[in-house]
Amino acid sequence: MKSPVVKRSIVIGGHKTSVSLEEAFWTSLKEIASRRDMTLSDLVAEIDRNRRQDNLSSAIRIFVLEYFKSRAAALRQE
């Protein structure tokens, strides 16, 4: 059975690192980067700079969750 976690290399601040995320998080992260007119690397670098978690993968998952929660809340207020 194939693992739902996908490990990808990404360059953050000129340094290559590996990040393991489920495909749904990779897809969502790319969508957010596109909406912000940013590269995926730039978005991950921003998440990395602002994270409160030790683990980058966890910080990315929380960022994606919070992003879509805030969008849903904004839609409810319209």
- Domain of 18 in residue numbering reads as 5-77
Q: pLDDT tens-digit profile of 14-45? A: 899 999 999 999 999 999 999 999 999 999 99
Q: Which residue has the tokens 């590996």?
A: 18
pLDDT band of 53, cuts 50, 70, 90:
confident
Q: Which residue has the tokens 């953050």?
A: 12
Number of domains in the chain: 1
In order of 14, 24, 65, 72, the CA distances from 10 in angstroms are: 10, 17, 21, 29
CATH of the domain at 31: 1.10.3990.20
Count the Cβ atoms, other than its own, within 10 Å of residue 60: 23
User: Tokens at residue 56, please?
Assistant: 């980058």
Tell me how far apart the alpha carbons of residues 23 and 7 are, in angstroms, rounded to a whole number.
9
User: Tokens at residue 2, please?
Assistant: 């194939």
Over range 50-61, report the average pLDDT: 92
